[in-house]
Amino acid sequence: MILAANFKTNHTRKSTKEYIERLNNFLNSKNPDTDIFIFPPFTALDNYKSKATIGVQNAYPAEKGSFTGEIGLEQLNEFNIKTIIIGHSERRHILGENQEFIAKKFQFFKENNFTIFYCIGETIEVRESSKELIFSYLDMQLEGIDLDYENLIIAYEPVWAIGTGKSAKYEDIKEVLEFLRSKTKAPLLYGGSVKPSNIKEIISISNCDGALIGTASWNVDSFCEMVDLSTKN
């Protein structure tokens, strides 16, 4: 089972340190069989000692250079970061990243052996159209992505379910994960308003290997509760 916390533009350096300390206490006492990933903002990156893996929410596909406002491999290497989220809907729809750029980013971080959390998900307009359109939309978001990459994790995150408190329906998640499973052996996550009250049902869906969690992960107690709920130990 994989559980990942995406802080987005939340938490400071100080509060991230406190979060990781409290998470470490929890992980050391419970020793859950869940793989934990934390994605803090850039300013909170550091050489943390933790059973959780620290990754980044984004980076530019270059070692270094003139890419104002971005960070590259050189900055990630300073903190031994080898895990990245690529294709998150907020980067696609708010920051305007297109599939060509996303595929280029994927290729770069694949060549550098990163664990890649690759996100895909349909908009509400697509969800309300037809099954055919939903799957062709998701297929477009897989263009240029090596689905056989050994360090790939895919997160299905319907855009309309992210940060809205309204998770996708059990049957709809099941159907999309089945579609993805027919294409790849990579672990498959669901993301979109996962919280303590629904995580058990979501991870019980066949082909669901875990969850990528935004809002409900920002509070460390809530995140630890979800780790507890998802663990077999």
Could you give the residue numbers annotated as active site? 88, 157
| 113 C-beta neighbours (distance < 10 Å), count | 11
194 binds ligand PEP, rule: CB under 6 A: yes
Shortest Cβ 90–ligand PEP spacing (Å): 7
72 binds ligand PEP, rule: CB under 6 A: no
Question: Quick one: which of 50, 215, 222, 231 contacts ligand PEP (CB under 6 A)?
Answer: 215
Instruction: Map tokens 């050994």 to a residue.
Output: 150
Q: Would you say 63 and 74 are in contact if contact means Cβ atoms under 8 Å apart?
A: yes
Residues between 40 and 69 with contacts to ligand PEP, criterion CB under 6 A? none
Longest dimension (CA), the chain: 48
**Nearest of 121, 118, 104 to residue 186 by alpha carbon:** 118
* Backbone phi, psi, residue 134, to 5°: -60, -50
The SS3 of residue 44 is: helix
Binding mask 174-193 toward ligand PEP (x if CB under 6 A, else -) reads: -----------------xxx
User: Token pair for residue 88?
Assistant: 């998150």
158 binds ligand PEP, rule: CB under 6 A: no
Judged by CB under 6 A, the stretch of 67-75, 127-135, 197-205, 208-216 that binds ligand PEP is 208-216
Residues engaged in binding ligand PEP (CB under 6 A): 6, 157, 162-163, 191-194, 212-216
